[in-house]
Amino acid sequence: MGIVRTSDVVLIVTVFAASLVEMVEALTLVVAAGTTRGWRSALEGVAAALVVLSTLVLAIGVPLIHYVPINTLRVVVGAMLLLLGMGWLRKAWLRSSDLKAKHDEDQVFRDTVSRLSSTAKPAAGRDGVAFAIAFKGVFLEGTEVVLIVISLGASSHRLGLATLAALGAVVVVAVAGLVLVRQLSVVPENTLKAIVGVFLCSFGLFWVGEGSGMGWPGHDASLLVLIGIFAASTLVAGRALRRDSVAP
């Protein structure tokens, strides 16, 4: 039995939550394409996108682990995660105070269905529109997941674990999609995005510190402190911004 490290647990949670959010967005488009244009072509689009994304993880992630010095990799990856995390966290702060519209999957679904219904379906064979919408949805949303999987997996030499966490989220979303079908808004997407933003910022700062040689006191355990700092800041910022927005 191996020892479970704090960074492994945080890695699994981060990749799983990020993948969950992105795949819910992709699922909206897949369900819209499937119900309006036919499931066969939509599912073929999903399969093709998953093959391309898996190839990307193998083609980029494995050489990164083997050929790039670990400290350089950690600083570069940390910087990328930090950049990504600040973007997610900023959106979460803005959404919590209604300065930015909350993401509404039901609205996206309705818009996509109405757009897809207006174009003619082929009499037989593959429906190119359904294939393209499903492929694009999974590929575009999945690219960010691939980036997170490669970044977190490569910097901690846990590419397999990160990939499994992402695949776990894909399975959960697929099952949830079968059960919920059109009620995707029940997924607390905006909250999940805030959590992922907190984790990405924490991981990013952690790896920049470790890779630069500065190091964090307590090593992996300091990740929990960073998560606590960013989570507390998100709560405080949300409250302060909400209070300001309702003040006369």
When asked if residue 69 is in the footprint of another protein (CB under 8 A), the reply is no
Residue 202: helix, strand or coil by DSSP? helix
Q: Which amino acid, residue 140?
A: L
Binding another protein (rule: CB under 8 A), the pick from 184, 205, 223, 227 is 205
Contact 159, 149 (CB under 8 A): yes
When asked if residue 52 is in the footprint of another protein (CB under 8 A), the reply is no
Site map 93..112 versus another protein, x via CB under 8 A: xx--x-xx------------
Categorise residue 49: left if φ over 0, alpha if ψ from -120 to 50, beta otherwise. Answer: alpha
Our measurement of the distance from residue 64's CA atom to the centroid of its chain's CA atoms, rounded to an integer in Å, reads 21
Report the residue number, 37 or 141, with the smaller CB distance to another protein: 141
CA dist., res. 164 & res. 108, Å (int): 28
* Sign of the dihedral defined by the CA atoms of residues 162, 168, 171, 175, in that order: negative
Binding another protein (rule: CB under 8 A), the pick from 52, 56, 86, 132 is 86
- CB atoms near residue 96 (< 10 Å): 22
When asked if residue 241 is in the footprint of another protein (CB under 8 A), the reply is yes
Report the residue number, 43 or 237, with the smaller CB distance to another protein: 237
When asked if residue 213 is in the footprint of another protein (CB under 8 A), the reply is yes
* Among 166, 233, 41, residue whose Cα is nearest residue 241: 233
Least distance CB 213 / another protein (angstroms)? 4
Contact 171, 177 (CB under 8 A): no
When asked if residue 214 is in the footprint of another protein (CB under 8 A), the reply is yes
Burial environment of residue 33 by CB neighbours within 10 A (0 to 12, 13 to 18, 19 or more): buried
Binding another protein (rule: CB under 8 A), the pick from 17, 18, 84, 162 is 84
- Tally DSSP H helices, then E strands, for the chain: 9, 0
When asked if residue 200 is in the footprint of another protein (CB under 8 A), the reply is no
Least distance CB 29 / another protein (angstroms)? 18
When asked if residue 209 is in the footprint of another protein (CB under 8 A), the reply is yes
When asked if residue 248 is in the footprint of another protein (CB under 8 A), the reply is no
Report the residue number, 6 or 97, with the smaller CB distance to another protein: 97
Least distance CB 226 / another protein (angstroms)? 7
Residues that bind another protein (CB under 8 A): 75, 78-79, 82-84, 86-87, 89-90, 93-94, 97, 99-100, 143, 147, 201, 205, 208-209, 211-217, 222, 226, 229-230, 233, 237, 241, 244
